[in-house]
């Protein structure tokens, strides 16, 4: 555990970058520092590996003051990833990744073997090993940055806006990859970003800082969304906080209807029987994959015209996806019903906006109840 204890940083020019900040950063979780530009995120991060020394207060790593060990020993035990990767332009990808193992005295051979292993772990083709950084895309460079930080297997990983210089598609890939790696390795990660969506997606806990380097709120993302501490946090979370909060509610409990599902090759009898029950039918192929919506009257047995079907929007996977995905599916569907599919993409049922709305209210109710219990205890 990293304990930041009443830390203040005043730069020589008088700027107070961090003001009496106290945080407990749990092991094996991702703690995100988020806040507007200039609120002291980088300063806070750099105080953890002593690239910046606090003016007041102390930082404890597993109960021991970080000033008690030699500074370079401390730094080599903490991986560090920055925007634009900060790779050494004059070293090959492999040697960039091998840097810290080499500093720690590993042989060149061992360090390179380890580096090759890490390239695979972060999803880099080992054919890139002999290249130089200028020969890589921004996203690839960023992966190298992560691999380099992980090379000596440090327990702590400090990341300063590592993904903010790449396009949104690559950023999402890198975020997903980080979550996957974290699942496998369980590092203690401190992650700095100014992107609240990134904070909510990655953070086990999120610390919102305000300008002047003061802590505004420190909470798990779901709690941040449901109960922002003040107007600043609420404002920082943005307009669609209610919708985003749905990401934390599971869709597993939604009651699915199977009656509207018909196969494209259904006979006249089946069609007629279903027609009376619902306003729309979801036509599927023989494997059960959705094709589109249709009004029952427009369907003729054995001769379904796929061109005539209405788009079914984006399906969700109950249990895996959240209520947000389900609601999104329903909003996108021209019929107002969301399509639920299994892992293989076969339709398992449909659900109306109304039912999703009830599920949302129920979920809010459960959160409120739990909060009440917690308060009463």
Partner 1 sequence: MNGFFDLPSDLGQSWLGLVGLHLREALLPVLAGLLVSLPVAQLCVRFRWIYPPVLGIATVLYAIPSLAFFVVLIDYFGQSETTVMIPLALYSLVVLVPAIVDGVRSVPPETLAAAQAMGFGAVRRYFQVQLPLAVPAIIAGLRVATVSSISLVSVGMLIGNQGALGNMLYAAQTYGRPALAVNAVLTIGVLGMLADAALVLLRFLLTPWMPRKGAGR
Shortest gap between Cβ of 296 and partner 1 (angstroms)? 57
50 and 106 Cβ atoms separated by less than 8 Å: no
Q: Give the contact letters, 179-208, x = binds to ligand ATP (CB under 6 A), - = no.
A: ---------------x--------------
Residue 52 or 264 having the CB closest to ligand ATP? 52
Strand order in the sheet with 205-210: 78-82, 156-160, 188-193, 30-34, 205-210, 214-219
Question: Considering the rule CB under 6 A, would residue 210 count as an interface residue with ligand ATP?
Answer: no
Shortest gap between Cβ of 36 and Mg ion (angstroms)? 11
Query: Dihedral through CA 354, CA 351, CA 303, CA 271, nearest 10?
Result: -80
350 and 261 Cβ atoms separated by less than 8 Å: yes
Question: Considering the rule CB under 5 A, would residue 42 count as an interface residue with Mg ion?
Answer: yes
Residue 214 or 263 having the CB closest to Mg ion? 214
H or E stretch at 135: none
Question: Considering the rule CB under 6 A, would residue 43 count as an interface residue with ligand ATP?
Answer: yes
Candidates 34-42, 64-72, 222-230, 296-304; binding stretch for Mg ion (CB under 5 A): 34-42
Binds ligand ATP by CB under 6 A, chosen from 1, 6, 11, 371:
11
Q: C-alpha angle 183/188/191, rounded to 5°?
A: 95
Per-residue DSSP letters for 323-363?
HHHHHHHHHHSTTSEEEEE-TTS-EEEEEEHHHHHHHHHHH
Shortest gap between Cβ of 85 and partner 1 (angstroms)? 8
Binds ligand ATP by CB under 6 A, chosen from 39, 174, 189, 219:
39
Distance of CA 182 to the CA centre of its chain: 11
Distance CA 86, CA 14 (A): 29
Binds ligand ATP by CB under 6 A, chosen from 5, 20, 38, 84:
38
Distance CA 225, CA 245 (A): 6
Please tell me the number of Cα atoms within 13 Å of 217 on its side-chain side.
20
When CB distances are held under 5 to 8 angstroms depending on the partner's kind, the choice from partner 1, ligand ATP, Mg ion, none that residue 296 binds is: none
Q: Which residues bind partner 1 (CB under 8 A)?
A: 49, 51, 71-76, 78, 80, 82-92, 99-100, 103, 132-135, 148, 158
When CB distances are held under 5 to 8 angstroms depending on the partner's kind, the choice from partner 1, Mg ion, ligand ATP, none that residue 29 binds is: none
Q: Which of 349, 355, 286 has its CA nearest to residue 315? A: 349
Question: Considering the rule CB under 6 A, would residue 13 count as an interface residue with ligand ATP?
Answer: yes
Shortest gap between Cβ of 9 and Mg ion (angstroms)? 13
């Amino acid at each position: 555990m990293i304990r930041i204890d009443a830390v203040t940083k005043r730069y020589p020019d008088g700027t107070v970058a961090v003001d009496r900040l106290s945080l407990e950063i749990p092991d094996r979780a991702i703690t995100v520092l988020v806040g507007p530009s200039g609120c002291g995120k980088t300063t806070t991060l750099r105080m953890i590996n002593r690239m910046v020394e606090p003016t007041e207060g102390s930082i404890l790593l597993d109960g021991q003051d970080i000033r008690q060990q030699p500074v370079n020993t401390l730094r080599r035990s903490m991986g560090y990833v920055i925007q634009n990767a900060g790779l050494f332009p004059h070293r090959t990808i492999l040697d960039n990744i091998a840097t810290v193992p080499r500093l720690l005295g590993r042989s060149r051979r061992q360090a390179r073997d380890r580096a090759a292993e890490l390239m695979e772990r972060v999803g880099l083709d080992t054919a890139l090993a002999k290249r130089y950084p200028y020969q890589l895309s921004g996203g690839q460079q960023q992966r190298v940055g992560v691999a380099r930080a992980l090379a000596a297997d440090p327990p702590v990983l400090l990341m300063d806006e590592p993904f903010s210089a790449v396009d949104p598609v690559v950023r999402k890939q890198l975020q997903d990859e980080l979550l996957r790696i974290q699942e496998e390795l369980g590092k203690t990660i401190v992650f700095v970003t100014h992107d609240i969506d990134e904070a909510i997606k990655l953070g086990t806990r999120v610390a919102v800082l305000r300008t002047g380097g003061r802590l505004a709120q420190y909470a798990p993302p779901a709690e941040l969304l449901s109960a922002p501490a003040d107007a600043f946090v609420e404002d920082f979370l943005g307009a669609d906080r209610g919708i985003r909060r749905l990401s934390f509610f599971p869709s597993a409990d939604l009651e699915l209807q199977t009656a509207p599902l018909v196969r494209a090759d259904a006979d006249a009898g089946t069609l007629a029987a279903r027609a009376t029950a619902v306003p729309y039918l979801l036509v599927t192929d023989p494997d059960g994959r959705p094709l589109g919506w249709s009004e029952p009257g427009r369907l003729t047995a054995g001769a379904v015209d796929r061109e005539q079907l209405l788009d079914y929007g984006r399906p969700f996977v109950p249990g895996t996806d959240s209520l947000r995905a389900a609601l999104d599916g329903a909003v996108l569907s021209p019929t107002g019903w969301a399509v639920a599919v299994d892992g293989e993409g076969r339709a398992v049922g449909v659900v109306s906006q109304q039912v999703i709305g009830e599920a949302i209210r129920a979920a809010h109710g459960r959160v409120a109840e739990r909060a009440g219990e917690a308060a009463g205890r």
